[in-house]
Amino acid sequence: MRSSFGAAYLKNYKKEITLKEMKNLLYKAVAVLAMSAALTACSNDETTVSGTGKVALEFDNSFNGNDLILETQANTTASNEVLKITAIKYIISNIVLTKEDGTTFTYPKSDSYFIVDEATATSHVLDLKNVPAANYTKVTFGVGVDKAQWELGATGQADFLAKAQAEGMMWSWSAGYKFIAFEGTFTSATVGTALPFKVHTGQTGTDYNYATIILDLKTKALVRSNITPQIHIVTDLSKVLNSTNVIKLSDNNPNGTGAMIMGGANLPLVTQNVATMFTVDHVHND
Amino acid sequence: MKNTIIISLLTFLSIQFVKAAPVKDSISGFTFQKMQLDAAMDFDCDACGCSASGGSMGFSSMLNSNFIGIRYFNQSYSSRDGIFANSPWIDENFNTTQIWTKIPVNEKIQIAALIPYHFHNRELTTGTEKISGLGDITLMATYSVYKTQKDSAVFTHNIQIGGGVKMPTGKFEESNNLGTVNQSFQLGTGSWDYLFVTEYMIKKENLGLNSMINYNIKTENSKKYQFGNQLNYGSTFFYLLDLKTVQLVPQVGFAGEVYETNKQYGEKVINTAGDILFSKFGLEVGKDKLSLGINAMLPINQNLSSGNIEANYRWSVNLNYTL
């Protein structure tokens, strides 16, 4: 085969021409392919961005890297306390989306109060509607109800007051909203038999304890009439007790009947921790 | 399934030995041209050309340079279904049966075509998900830039370059990319993709080494999803053992794949880049106009999708008929 090839090549002039032609043809083909690839790669169809779309803000509760499972899952804190979480609820409010040019879109305040409850799957995703089409790079939200809103009085709360009461996220009107309700049982080196714990934040004394969270989006959220970005936020509940500040449940168990952290000096510390527990895992533009 | 294949292989071999007809092929007439498009044809081993696909799987036939054949290959992956440490790992099986052919236009130019049919499944916690259908058809041409002409040369060399196009004949379903880590559970990329291949073969007597590099440029599909470009490379040693009644060609080598990040609406999709290096083992058995090959690939080192996808193994079996 090889020898016959050599002979054929020398003997047959006509064939050589054919080969040259083929060679040229192949080069041309490769060039065309390369060009079309380059063209396709460059042709970003810049259709004008207008109108409105939707955004889904998903809150996915976890504990130190593991998906949260209520009741059964044993979660060990950095302080070596083992928590079984029976309930986690928090109020998310005042959502602001920042566009890539730095301007912001503030979600209408009257629609911007939500309760995320681990036990209710439908509450994990906040569906934002009528969001101006744009490329968004940041999301900002509050944990709790801001003081200005609370100061509007009971009538200024619209239907959120009733909702918060139904969800057990009110202490009383005068005491205000619970911003976070984190509950379960715990054991530790000094607590052998599981005792209940409750961490509730909200205003206490002169501390209002509302937290504002600003998160960068790793992938731009492209809001269009036909694209609803899903911003997948992971909430790491291990940070409620172990983050900027370390709070041990065992140290808050004065009567040996459980740890109830609902006021006093601990709440500002917990609030600082809460401010660190949210991260954007990813953004789907689907 | 594996057992069935092995039994079929043994059966095939025993039949061939029993029938043992007078040999027509002599060793001198037997060139290693069969290896030529080996590397070039690797590219479509991908399940679809997506993140954890099989682009460097390879091994065409070394026993017949111009052939039509059928090949089955299986790729086994484990993927994390979720974003957490305790998210479940699920099994994914990518199965492909493909018709492939290689036809010479003249002494220097060859064209090749691959027509794959995929049937993939994965065991989600909610049940088994299955997709099947025609995959992306590939057409390509290679050109021999340099080839040793002297029969007396101790070493012979062959350098080939080529290019081709992969057409979006396989279905791309956006919904297969929702909620799961592995973005490759597709029948096709949905895009026109372009292939550039180079291959170098050196051989001395019955021993040869084939090395290849190819690069796949993937474009944005109609759903504005764009799989990352892909680099495949590899080297395979092969040895021809002529037993008069049959020829045996054992092969051993390595193959690697590097994937760039996928994009959606021009935005990077996280955890879609990666790389993997495989060891390769194979055996080809030739008899008259037929050749049967069986190959396996085992990962040596991998980092796919930030550790959220693990390739377990790949294996293939093919039957080729010399044209």
Cβ count near A61 (within 10 Å): 21
- The predicted pLDDT at position B173 comes to 86
- The predicted pLDDT at position B296 comes to 93
pLDDT band at A237 (very low <50, low <70, confident <90, very high): very high
- The predicted pLDDT at position B13 comes to 35
Residues of B in contact with A67 (CB under 8 A): 82, 84, 86-87
A222 CA to chain B: closest CA distance, Å?
Answer: 8
Residues of A in contact with B151 (CB under 8 A): 2-3
Whether the per-residue pLDDT at A47 is higher than 60: the answer is no
d(CA A199, CA A207): 16
Q: In the predicted model, what is the mean pLDDT of residues A232-248?
A: 97
- The predicted pLDDT at position A224 comes to 95
DSSP-derived secondary structure letter, A45: -
- The predicted pLDDT at position B53 comes to 30
d(CA A87, CA B136): 49
What CATH number should be reported for the domain holding residue B227? Answer: 2.40.128.130
Q: In whole numbers, what is the pLDDT of chain B averaged over residues?
A: 79
Q: In the predicted model, what is the mean pLDDT of residues A18-37?
A: 56
- The predicted pLDDT at position A234 comes to 97
Residues of A in contact with B105 (CB under 8 A): 22
pLDDT band at A173 (very low <50, low <70, confident <90, very high): confident
Q: In the predicted model, what is the mean pLDDT of residues B275-283?
A: 93
Which of B84, B144, B230 to probe by mutation at the A interface, max A CB count within 10 Å?
B84
d(CA A86, CA A118): 9
Higher pLDDT, A44 or A62: A62
- The predicted pLDDT at position A29 comes to 57
**In 3-state terms, what secondary structure has residue A141?**
strand
pLDDT band at B237 (very low <50, low <70, confident <90, very high): very high
Whether the per-residue pLDDT at B248 is higher than 70: the answer is yes
d(CA B159, CA B147): 6
Residues of A in contact with B106 (CB under 8 A): 15, 18-19, 22
Contact at 8 Å (CB) between A145 and A177? yes
Contact at 8 Å (CB) between B178 and A286? yes
- The predicted pLDDT at position B182 comes to 76
Per-residue pLDDT reduced to its tens digit, B154-206: 898 989 899 999 999 999 887 776 656 677 888 898 999 999 989 898 989 88
- The predicted pLDDT at position A132 comes to 97
- The predicted pLDDT at position A20 comes to 58
Residue among A15, A26, A66 whose CB faces B85 most closely: A66
- The predicted pLDDT at position A34 comes to 55
Q: What is the 3-state secondary structure (H, E, C) of chain B?
A: CHHHHHHHHHHHHHHHHHHCCCCCCCCCCCCHHHHCCCHHHHHHHCCCCCCCCCCCCCCCCCCCCCEEEEEEEEEEEEEECCCCCCCCEEEEEEEEEEEEEEEECCCCEEEEEEEEEEEEEEEECCEEEEEEEECCCEEEEEEEEEECCCCCCCCEEEEEEEEEEECCCCCCCHHHHCCCCCCCCCCCCCCCEEEEEEEEEEEECCEEEEEEEEEEEECCCCCCEECCCEEEEEEEEEECEECCCCEEEEEEEEEEEEECCCEECCEECCCCCEEEEEEEEEEEEEECCEEEEEEEEEEEEEEEHHHCEEEEEEEEEEEEEEC
Q: In the predicted model, what is the mean pLDDT of residues A270-279?
A: 97
Tokens 């062959």: give the residue.
B158
Q: In the predicted model, what is the mean pLDDT of residues A34-50?
A: 55
Give this prediction's pTM.
0.78
- Provide the residue range defining the domain that includes B172: 2-322
- The predicted pLDDT at position A16 comes to 45
**B103 φ/ψ angles, rounded to the nearest 5 degrees:** -130, 130
State what percent of residues in chain A have pLDDT above 70.
84
Q: Where is average pLDDT lowest: A185-194, A231-240, B170-179?
A: B170-179
Higher pLDDT, B102 or A75: A75
First and final C-alpha spacing in chain A = 56
Q: Where is average pLDDT lowest: A219-233, B2-16, B143-157, B281-295?
A: B2-16
Query: Closest Cα partner for A97 from A55, A138, A49, A52?
Result: A138
A222:B265 CB<8 A? yes
Query: Closest Cα partner for B295 from B100, B73, B101, B10?
Result: B73
State what percent of residues in chain B have pLDDT above 70.
78
d(CA B287, CA A273): 73
Higher pLDDT, B60 or B199: B199
Question: Of the segments A121-135, A163-177, B207-221, which one has the largest average pLDDT value?
Answer: A121-135
Higher pLDDT, A72 or B124: A72
Per-residue pLDDT reduced to its tens digit, B130-161: 999 999 999 999 898 988 877 777 898 989 89
- The predicted pLDDT at position A2 comes to 39
d(CA B37, CA B59): 9
Residue among A5, A36, A285 whose CB faces B264 most closely: A285
d(CA A25, CA A31): 10
A186 CA to chain B: closest CA distance, Å?
Answer: 21
DSSP-derived secondary structure letter, A107: P
The count of domains in chain B is 1
- The predicted pLDDT at position B153 comes to 78
Whether the per-residue pLDDT at A17 is higher than 50: the answer is no
Query: Closest Cα partner for B218 from B196, B234, B233?
Result: B196
- The predicted pLDDT at position B105 comes to 86
Whether the per-residue pLDDT at B101 is higher than 90: the answer is no
d(CA A150, CA B37): 74
Q: In whole numbers, what is the pLDDT of chain A averaged over residues?
A: 87
State what percent of residues in chain B have pLDDT above 90.
43
Q: Which helix (H) or strand (E) holds A188?
A: none
- The predicted pLDDT at position B70 comes to 92
B122 CA to chain A: closest CA distance, Å?
Answer: 22
Residues of A in contact with B65 (CB under 8 A): 1
B107:A29 CB<8 A? no
pLDDT band at A127 (very low <50, low <70, confident <90, very high): very high
